[in-house]
Structure 1
Amino acid sequence: MVHRVIETLQTSHSIGQITLVGPDRAMLRKDAKIEHLLTSNALDWLENASSPSASAAHGLERQPPQQPILLTTADHALLSPAIVDHFLEQALASGCDFVVGVARLDTVQTRFPDTRRTAIQLRGGPYCGCNLFAFMTERGRQLASFWRRVEQERKRPWRVITGALGPIATLRYLLGRLTLEQALARLSRQLDVKIGAVVLPFAEAAIDVDSTADLLFVEKILAQNAAEKTTQP
């Protein structure tokens, strides 16, 4: 999967240097393709930290402060250059410090009716996460610290999130009245970071691989896509 993600980023019109955080360097030496990218300086590598959020923070610290950064995951098996470019174009136009990619659940279910995705129940949604995060400014990188706080409370993440939203916004969420825009505006004020979201029209953006069933599903989709390409005139 990591090969597909790297190839997608290399093909995108919006991406410059690519940094892979983890896995162990000795493991990567066994992968001829990635080893070639590393030795030819087409790919940077950093040792992973103790958790996903710590690894993200480690990667961000190694980049120039004013450099916009796209963060995604190696299990983003259906990621495409079109998704990356659309997301980053919208993120740049937003004027935000930090931008997250989401897709409406109905967009995902219309394209993939047999898949089940976790969704956030916000008015106008529900919305699925897409593992696409754009740190557009140095201020936006402060969100890595917030992510670590949420991760440290992984058994009770809502303790941190509701603390940032405040009681009124949390109540509106529980009543099904809180919109995505309202939630992000509240978080922006509380965290002193302008946070935005790009609602992606691509169902594939919400698909990642967390289980064997997910892997089989993704392989089926990729096989179907390949078959469709071979039949096109």
Structure 2
Amino acid sequence: MVDAVVLAGSTNNGPLKECSPARHEALIPIGNKTMVEHVVDALLKARNVNRVLIIGPVDELSGLAFDSRTSTAASCGGILENIEAGLEKLPGEKRILLVTSDIPLLTPQAVDDFLGLCGDMSGDLYYPVIGKAVVESKFPGTTRTYVKLKEGTFTGGNLFLLNPAVFKKCVENGREIINLRKSPIGLCRLLGLKFVVKFLMRSLTLREAEEKVSQLLGGIKGVVVISKHPEVGVDVDKPGDFELALKTIGDIPRPCRAGFNPPKTSG
């Protein structure tokens, strides 16, 4: 079994402001529970998850009903800082499951399937991708970002299985990628011409992408797995996703109005 860290520190200052006045995205209600509660419930019901640590607004999280296997810690910056804070709270663990709090459609079966795909967990970083046809068969009309590779068209998931021992190495090497994200020329130099050409020609394979990411992150052992559970990749970050989640979970969809100014909350 593994412990999980749920990243719930994002403030609600983007498109989802049209849907809820909650100060943090994780605390936006979907049906009778908040987004983070849906995620935590799925994790706790999974056979292969032990404890769950939520990194986010502790005062607001304390008002939610979680069982004894759940704990919280304060958010302390961006996503990388919050991952590091979570890893520090769970010392000695050989592998940690990282989960974003914006996938309220997550199911225990999807979690267990992903962990099963990780096999003996000898890799340093496992990352799921989901085929476009799989997503659209269960959630027709949903809009996701897809990448076309030789094996098919995929979107990324929001679960990661990480070896804590390589996290700092990943961060150090990953900063260059982040710094170059708006420089096509710089990225091409970093990735290599052959890699870029194969990607543009849609002849790049999953294994080649896996090897390149592993190399760029300092020579770690990264592993891409193909999930058949679209719930791991359907995140809620815009009004259309919010309405899809409401409909799927069973509440009546209510449209988010462009330009809507939610009432201010106290505190």
Q: TM-score range by the shorter chain?
A: 0.7 to 0.9
- The separation in 1 between residues aligned to 2:185 and 2:124, in whole angstroms, is 24
Match of 1:174 in 2: 200
The question of whether the paired residues in 2 share the 8 Å contact of 1:98 and 1:137 is answered with no
Instruction: Go from structure 1 to structure 2 and tell me whether the alpha carbon gap of 1:171 and 1:67 turns closer, same or farther (over 3 Å shift).
Output: same
AA aligned to 2:78 is: S
Match of 1:229 in 2: none
1:201 to 228, 238, 242: 228
- The separation in 2 between residues aligned to 1:189 and 1:129, in whole angstroms, is 19
Instruction: Go from structure 1 to structure 2 and tell me whether the alpha carbon gap of 1:32 and 1:104 turns closer, same or farther (over 3 Å shift).
Output: closer
- The separation in 2 between residues aligned to 1:16 and 1:195, in whole angstroms, is 23
Q: Work out whether 1:96 is the aligned partner of 2:128.
A: no
Match of 1:116 in 2: 143
Match of 1:228 in 2: none
Shift of 1:129: 1.0
Match of 1:192 in 2: 219
Shift of 1:178: 0.8
Match of 2:158 in 1: 131
- The separation in 1 between residues aligned to 2:43 and 2:153, in whole angstroms, is 28
- The separation in 2 between residues aligned to 1:222 and 1:109, in whole angstroms, is 17
Worse-matched range after superposition: 140-149 or 123-132? 140-149
Instruction: Go from structure 1 to structure 2 and tell me whether the alpha carbon gap of 1:140 and 1:163 turns closer, same or farther (over 3 Å shift).
Output: farther
Shift of 1:150: 4.3
Residues 30-69 of structure 1 correspond to what in structure 2 (within 5 A)? Answer: 31-34=63-66, 37=67, 40=68, 42-69=69-96
The question of whether the paired residues in 2 share the 8 Å contact of 1:97 and 1:194 is answered with yes
The question of whether the paired residues in 2 share the 8 Å contact of 1:19 and 1:44 is answered with yes
Q: Work out whether 1:27 is the aligned partner of 2:60.
A: yes
Match of 1:227 in 2: none
Higher strand share: 2
Secondary structure of 2:223's aligned partner: strand
Secondary structure of 2:72's aligned partner: strand
AA aligned to 2:50 is: G
Worse-matched range after superposition: 170-179 or 13-22? 170-179
Instruction: Go from structure 1 to structure 2 and tell me whether the alpha carbon gap of 1:75 and 1:89 turns closer, same or farther (over 3 Å shift).
Output: same
Q: TM-score, normalised by structure 2?
A: 0.72
Instruction: Go from structure 1 to structure 2 and tell me whether the alpha carbon gap of 1:222 and 1:161 turns closer, same or farther (over 3 Å shift).
Output: farther
Higher helix share: 1
Deviations 1:62-104 (A, max 9, x none): 3224421000111111111111111111113363111001101
- The separation in 2 between residues aligned to 1:82 and 1:170, in whole angstroms, is 36
Percent of aligned positions with the same letter in both sequences?
25
Unpaired segments of 5 or more residues in structure 2?
1-34, 252-267
Question: Number of paired residues?
Answer: 216
Secondary structure of 2:150's aligned partner: coil
Q: TM-score, normalised by structure 1?
A: 0.82
Secondary structure of 2:158's aligned partner: strand
- The separation in 2 between residues aligned to 1:128 and 1:104, in whole angstroms, is 7
AA aligned to 1:16 is: N
